Structure 1
Amino acid sequence: VVRPGSHPPVLTSIVRRAELVEQLGIDVFCALPFTLEFSRMPPAEFAHHALVEQLHASAVVVGENFRFGHKAAGDVAVLSQLGETFGFTAHGIALLRDGDGETPLSATYVRTCVQAGDMAGAAHALGRPHRVDGMVERGDQRGRELGFPTANLRTDAWTAVPADGVYAGRVVRLDEWGRALPGPPLGTAAISVGTNPTFEVRQRRVEAFILDFDGDLYGDALGVEFVERLRGMEKFDSVDALVAQMRRDVDQTRSQAV
């Protein structure tokens, strides 16, 4: 809205956020549409319109670096002052920080981990593995021909997809709204992200080989959870060399017991 096309990669969709909030036992989740008009509200108008008129807030809890209102003019101190005027209390919560005690565990921190393929770092900050959702579409069937049929995930362009490479992880089924279906994961998976340089494929893809699974997933919605990066993307001299490495990837994934 403010700078179209310049937004950072999205870690979680609105549906996924609502799902996570529900798991925490919170009863109501509200997502306010961020329009150009909304972005131009000064702090006082935002507090009165969004917090008082719409939410009837009696207490507001935010992170210590919370900013709001036009040009991010409001902070926790301003929110507290407005609370005195409008009849609510404001509470700023200290941010969790990395082991160095300096770096806050923020969305920016998680994106940096994801873009570097540091899935352990991302999971540490999130409290769960980073998940990429999408629909299974037909690929070129090359994985099936090599003995490793993969689910090819069609992801949204704005999704935060990890760095190119091979990962160990899990796959879960999603319902029509993008929420994880109840029950155990569909299975442990060896996941490939990137192009396929051995076959000169230039399109970047997310492909998951689900261990010990035999079924048709075309058209299904899946969530791919990235647990650990096994290696970078490589170009092999022969198909046999590629298949041998894929077998090692699967063995390593299985041994991780993700």
Structure 2
Amino acid sequence: MQIWHGLDHVPADLGATAVTLGNFDGVHRGHQAVLERMVSDAHDRGLMAVAVTFDPHPKAVHDPAHQPVLITGLADKLDRLAATGLDATLVVPYTLEFASQTPQEFVRRWLVDGLHASRLVVGTDTKFGRGNAGDVDTLRALGGAHGFAVDVVDDACAISESGRRWSSTWVRELLDDGKLVEAADVLGRPHRLRGTVVHGDKLGRQIGFPTANLEVTGGMIPRHGVYAGWLTVLEAGPSESATAVGAPMPAAISVGFNYTVGVEGLRIEGYVIDGAALDLYGAEVTFDLVQWRRPMLDFGSLDALIDGLASDVAWCRTVLQVD
């Protein structure tokens, strides 16, 4: 999938396209169903399938004092969008100036002149332009004037087996409750945290459980506690982590505060099972969280902490089916 950060990156020889718009936070199964249907229809018509998304999230610009909690960072969102078969995604740098455009200005500059839209795929509740003045009826009128068709997608393909509508709000609720298995069902994959491995307090190494401390750059922090999951090195740091790039490694992952040893601040750490010799400092990694085990606890002593961690690792082996 091609990624265009602004109209300046769109190829000059771009042909006719089918375009859809959205924030696509989490790229959950509802998003996937709509996007995959749009891609199939676009390709049947000989059109390039393009998504338009925004960075930062519009709420972060309009109300900076109350930053939105996003399920995925931009890098992972783009990876998930690519998996739907899209040919390209245009990442619009969202600013107050951008938001001040009228619906007519937005459609003409970005969709017609910028992306050569032949078809536009939108939801029934689509709003756009200054003050959210534009809606589906506005698009239909503008489509008639500029020569593009408007396909309005209903909710039929966005309803889960339980009858609840797939939504980013649902995912956030599940992550807050530590229901990672259920969240993975809505997302279509395990929830992911992405970041860089940084130096920690090195206590884990001293007690036999060396951990990779993650400085998170993307992904919603879920309920605090211990998780079974997978650690994957995306890009090696200055250490010896190059040998581990690309292969998911089973891990016991903790999210929260280390009460037993009184370490201050939130810690997100992954202990790679059977990977004691790994040196991951400076590497870009992901934590894919599979299942929640327990809350963070004060074990009262280092010996009790060590026993607790050993039990956690044994449980993670079972969950992840590691011999």
Q: Same fold (TM over 0.5)?
A: yes
Alignment correspondent of 1:204: 266
Alignment correspondent of 2:297: 234
Q: Which of residues 184, 197, 201 in structure 2 aligns to 1:123?
A: 184
Counterpart check, 1:132 vs 2:193:
yes
1:39 maps to amino acid: A
Q: Matches of 1:137 and 1:27 in 2, distance apart?
A: 35
Q: Which of residues 125, 140, 143 in structure 1 aligns to 2:204?
A: 143
Report how far residue 159 of structure 1 moved: 4.3
Report how far residue 175 of structure 1 moved: 3.1
Report how far residue 202 of structure 1 moved: 2.6
| Residue aligned with 2:80, SS | helix
Alignment correspondent of 1:91: 151
Counterpart check, 1:174 vs 2:234:
yes
Report sequence identity in percent.
39
| Residue aligned with 2:134, SS | coil
Q: Which runs of 4+ in 1 moved over 6 A?
A: none
Alignment correspondent of 1:110: 171
State whether residues 214 and 268 of structure 2, in contact with CA within 8 Å, keep that contact through their aligned partners in structure 1.
yes
| Residue aligned with 1:199, SS | coil
Gaps of 5+ in 2: 1-60, 237-243
1:114 maps to amino acid: L
Structure-2-length-normalised TM-score = 0.72
Alignment correspondent of 1:81: 141
| Residue aligned with 2:152, SS | strand
Q: Matches of 1:7 and 1:113 in 2, distance apart?
A: 20
Query: Which deviates the most, 36-45 or 88-97?
Result: 88-97
Structure-1-length-normalised TM-score = 0.89
Alignment correspondent of 1:56: 116
Alignment of 1:210-229 (within 5 A): 210-213=272-275, 214-229=277-292
1:123 maps to amino acid: A
Alignment correspondent of 2:25: none
| Residue aligned with 2:311, SS | helix
Report how far residue 121 of structure 1 moved: 2.4
Question: Are residues 221 and 53 of structure 1, via their aligned partners in 2, closer, same or farther at CA, if it must alter by over 3 Å?
Answer: same
| Residue aligned with 1:201, SS | coil
Question: Are residues 63 and 118 of structure 1, via their aligned partners in 2, closer, same or farther at CA, if it must alter by over 3 Å?
Answer: farther
Q: Per-residue CA shift, 1:101-139, capped at 9, x if unaligned?
A: 2x4322222222222222122212211111111110111
Q: Matches of 2:192 and 2:124 in 1, distance apart?
A: 27
Counterpart check, 1:29 vs 2:92:
no
Q: Which of residues 69, 76, 80 in structure 2 aligns to 1:9?
A: 69
Q: Per-residue CA shift, 1:44-71, capped at 9, x if unaligned?
A: 2222221111111111122333322222
Gaps of 5+ in 1: none
Report how far residue 182 of structure 1 moved: 7.6
Question: Are residues 182 and 105 of structure 1, via their aligned partners in 2, closer, same or farther at CA, if it must alter by over 3 Å?
Answer: farther
Report how far residue 230 of structure 1 moved: 0.8
Q: Matches of 2:65 and 2:149 in 1, distance apart?
A: 36
Question: Are residues 113 and 71 of structure 1, via their aligned partners in 2, closer, same or farther at CA, if it must alter by over 3 Å?
Answer: farther
CA RMSD of superposed structures (Å) = 2.0
Q: Matches of 1:108 and 1:208 in 2, distance apart?
A: 27
2:263 maps to amino acid: V
| Residue aligned with 1:136, SS | strand
Alignment correspondent of 1:67: 127
